[in-house]
Structure 1
Amino acid sequence: MKILYGVQGTGNGHITRARALSTAFARMPSVNVDFIFSGRQRDKYFDMEPFAQWRNYSGLTFIHKSGKIDPIATIKQNQFRQLFKDIKTLNLSDYDLVLTDFEPVSAWAAKRAKKPILGVGHQYAFHYDIPKQGANPATELIMKNFAPVNLGLGLHWHHFGHPILPPIADIPENDYDVEKSNILVYLGFEDPEKVMQTLAPIKSHEFIFYGEFDSPQTKGNIHLKPLSREGFKIDLAKANGVICNAGFELVSEALELGKKVLVKPLKGQMEQLSNAKALENLGIGKSMSTLNTETIERWLTEQPNVKILYPDVAKAIANWIVEGDWNEKTRHDLAVELWQQVESPDMNNFAHIEKLKKRL
C-alpha cells in the first residue's frame, strides 16, 4: 500500500502525531508512506529526519500577534493562488490512499482526483457534539471544509459518547525523576517578554521556558531554552507541571505523564478555546484567559496532578488503515476497543464505555 500523508505544519502537535504514525507504518513492510507538510516555511521545521524526502507547500495558516488571531494579517499572508495551483498539480496517481492531519493541499487534491482520503487528527473530533467555545457558523464551516475527508478519525481526551479515539501521546521512553519545583512553559503564541514578566514574581518554582530563543539563558528562576524536540521531551518528563497554549498534543502528553496542566488559549481560535473548556469540564486541567501571576500561583498550589494512560493509538490506527475496511462500523469498533484500554483515575466517570457502546 502506498500512502500520501499530508500534515498541517502550523502547530507542532500535528507533526508529533505524524512522527508516531510514521514509526507505526515503518514496522509494516507492505506500506510505503510519502509526506507533505504545509503552513510553514521549510526552514522553520526542525527534527524532520523521520520523514525522509518530505515535500513542503505553502498551504494555509493563521497569523497571530500577542496571543490572538490577526484576521487581516492572516488574509494578507496566505497565498490563495499558490494554494489552488498546488492542489491542481499534486499528482496522486501512484497512491492507494491519501491520509491527512488537517492539511488542505492533500485533502483537496484527493477530493479533486476522487482518491480515497482519511483524516486523522484532533480537528475531526469537532464534527461531533463535544464541548465547544467560540463556535459560530463560520468556524463550523472551516472545520468541515478546511481539509475535507471521506472518513475522519477524531482524537480527544474523552469520546463524549461518540466514535472519537483517544489521543496519540508521543511520550519519552526513558524514565526521569520529577523535579517538583520545575514547571515547563511553552507559550509560542505569546510575547516572551510578557510571559517572563508574569512568571518573574513567582520565586517558589523553576520555569523551563521554551521558545524561539537564539541560545540558552537564565534569568533568575526562568531558564530560556531554544526549541529542541529531544531537550523538550526530557524537560517535559522531569517537570511537575506544564503551562502552555491550549493545543491538543502537548496537553495529551502532559496528562499521560501525570503533569498538572494550565492552558492559556489563543484568543479568537475556536479549537483552543474549546480545548480549554473541555479540560475544565473534565476536571483534568485549568485555564486562564490572560497571562496572570495570581492565577498561576493558585494553580501551582491547588491543582492536583492527573495521570491518564492511553494505549498505543498510533499502532491501532496504522493497523486499521492497512486492513483496508474503512467505514463507520469499523471506526466505531476501533473507538470502543481503544477506550476500553484507557487507564484513568476514575474510569466510570471518564470513559463511559457502556454509554459509548449504546451510542454505536
Structure 2
Amino acid sequence: MKIFYAIQATGNGHISRAMQLFPYLKKFGTVDFFLSGNNASLNADLPVKFKSYGCSLHYSKCGGLNYWDIAKNVRPIQMYKDAKSLPLKDYDVVINDFDSITSLACKVQKIHSVQFGHQASFVSDATPRPEKKSIMGEMILKHYAPSEKHIGLHFEKYDSFIHPPIIKDEILNSNPKNLKHITVYLPSFQQDCLEKAFGKHKYIEFHWFLNDVKSKYTVGNITYFPVNQSDFNESLINCHGIITGGGFETPAEALYLGKKILSIPIRKHYEQECNAAALKKLGVPVVYEVGDNFDFIIENWLNTEVKKPSIQANNINETLQYLFDTYNNK
C-alpha cells in the first residue's frame, strides 16, 4: 500500500506527531510525506517527497498573531499550482493533517482523503470551545482542510471518532523526575518579552526553548535552548512544571507525565482558545494576557497546588488500523 501523508508545518506539533507515527505507518505500506508551510523550527526527520511554501502562521512580538505577515505570505496561485501537481492518484491512501493544499488537491483531482489529527476533533460540537465562540474561527477549523472522513485526537474522548493524543516513545518509556527546573516553550513570545519576569525568580532555573537560539547558553537563572526533540524531551521529563502555549502536543505530553502546567494561549488564535477551554475543564490554569505582573503570576502558580490530571496515551497500532478501515469504508 502506498500512503500519502500531508503535514501542516505551522509550528512543530504536526511534524513531531508524524515522526512518532512514521515507524508504525511503515507496517502498513510505503509512506511519502508532503510538508506544507514555512515556519516550523523542528527538523523533519522523515522521507519528505513533496514540499510547498503553503500557508503559515506568523506571530507578533509578545504572544499574538501577526495578521499582516500571515496575509502577505499567502500565495494563492502557487498553492493552486501545488495542489494540481500533487500526484495523489498514485497513492492508495491520502492522510491529511490539516493541510489546505492537500484538501484542494483532493477536490481538484477527485480523490478521497481522511483528515487525521487534532484539528479533526473540532468537527464535533462536543469538543470544548471558549465561552465566546468565533464565527471565523469555527469556519477555519471546519473548512480550512475539509475531508470526507475525520479521525480526531484530543485530551479526552469528546466524541466517538476522537482518540487519545499521540505520545512520543521517549515520553512513554521515560522515568519522570522532578529536578526542580521550569521548562518554557512559547513560540509566539520573543526573548525580551519574558526574560525580566523569569529573571526575578533567581532561585528557580528556567529551561527556555526559543526558535532563534542556535546553541545552548545560560544567563543567570535562565538556560536558553534551540528547539530540538532530544533536549526538550529531557527537560520536560525532568521538570517541575512547564509554561507553554495553548497548543496540543506539548500540553498532552505534560499531562501524560503528570507535570504542572501553566498555559498561555496565543492571543486571537481560536484553536488555542479552544484548547485552553479544554485544559481549564481539566483543572489546568490558563493565562490570557501577559503584562508587567507576569512574575507574580508565575509565583502564584508555583506556590499553589493545582490539579495534575492524567490522560491516556494513544494505542497507535489500533488507531491506524481504525484509520485505514475507515478510509476503505468509503
1:316 and 2:318 are equivalent in the alignment: yes
Equivalent runs, 1:41-56 vs 2, <5 Å: 45-49=41-45, 51-56=46-51
1:54 deviation in Å? 3.3
Summarize deviations over 1:288-329 as a string: whole Å, max 9, x none: 11231111111112143625252433222222234456559x
Separation (CA, whole Å) in 1 of partners of 2:230 and 2:223: 17
Of 156, 159, 166 in structure 1, the residue corresponding to residue 157 of structure 2 is 159
Distance in 1 (CA, whole Å) between partners of 2:259 and 2:328 is 35
Identify unmatched segments of 5+ residues in structure 1: 329-360
- Superposed displacement of residue 95, structure 1: 0.6
Distance 1:325 1:214, change over 3 A: closer
Distance 1:323 1:124, change over 3 A: closer
Partner Cα distance (1:158, 1:46) in 2: 27
- Measured after TM superposition, the shift of residue 61 of structure 1 is 1.3
Query: Corresponding residue for 2:85?
Result: 89
Which residue number corresponds to residue 8 of structure 1? Answer: 8
Distance 1:274 1:165, change over 3 A: same
In structure 2, the residue matched to 1:191 is: 190
Distance 2:317 2:143 in 1: 27
Q: After superposition, what is the alpha-carbon deviation per residue over 1:184-223, rounded to whole angstroms, capped at 9, x for unaligned?
A: 1011101211121121112342110011212222121111
Query: Normalising by the residue count of structure 2, what TM-score does the alignment of the two structures yield?
Result: 0.91
Aligned partners of 1:48, 1:160: CA distance in 2, in Å? 30
Q: Are the aligned partners of 1:5 and 1:98 in contact in 2 as well (CA < 8 Å)?
A: yes
Residue 65 of structure 1: how far off its partner (Å)? 0.6
Q: Give the Cα–Cα distance (whole angstroms) in 1 for the partners of residues 326 and 162 of structure 2.
A: 19
The 3-state SS of whatever aligns with 1:230 is: helix
Residues in 2 aligned to 1:17 and 1:221: alpha-carbon distance in whole angstroms:
31
2:221 & 2:96 partners in 1: Cα distance? 41
Structure-2 separation of matches of 1:209 and 1:171: 23
- Tell me the amino acid that sits aligned with residue 277 of structure 1: A
Q: Tell me the SS of whatever aligns to 1:105.
A: helix
Partner of 2:142: 144
Which secondary structure state, in structure 1, belongs to the residue aligned with residue 7 of structure 2? strand
Unmatched tracts of structure 2, length 5 or more: none
C-alpha contact (below 8 Å) 2:208/2:222 kept by paired residues:
yes
Question: Conserved in 2, the CA contact under 8 Å of 1:255 and 1:307?
Answer: yes
What is the CA–CA distance in structure 2 between the aligned matches of 1:8 and 1:122, rounded to whole Å?
12
* Equivalent of 1:35 in 29, 33, 36: 33
Is the counterpart of residue 61 in structure 1 residue 56 in structure 2? Answer: yes
Contact 2:165–2:314 at 8 Å: present in 1 too? no
Conserved in 1, the CA contact under 8 Å of 2:11 and 2:41? Answer: no
Question: Hey, what does 1:208 align to over in structure 2?
Answer: 207
Structure 2 counterpart of 1:278: 278
Against the structure 1 CA distance between its residues 37 and 325, is the aligned structure 2 distance closer, same or farther, given a 3 Å change threshold? closer
Q: Secondary structure at the match of 2:200?
A: coil
Could you say which residue in structure 2 is the equivalent of 1:132? 129
For the residues of structure 1 that align with 2:153 and 2:69, how far apart are their CA atoms?
30
| Alpha-carbon shift at residue 174 of structure 1 (Å) | 4.7
Task: Please say if residues 217 and 224 of structure 2, whose CA atoms lie closer than 8 Å, have aligned partners that are also in contact.
Answer: yes
Q: How big is the shift at 1:264?
A: 0.7
Two-structure CA RMSD over aligned residues (Å)? 2.0
CA contact (8 A) 1:184 1:239 kept: yes
- What TM-score, normalized to structure 1? 0.84
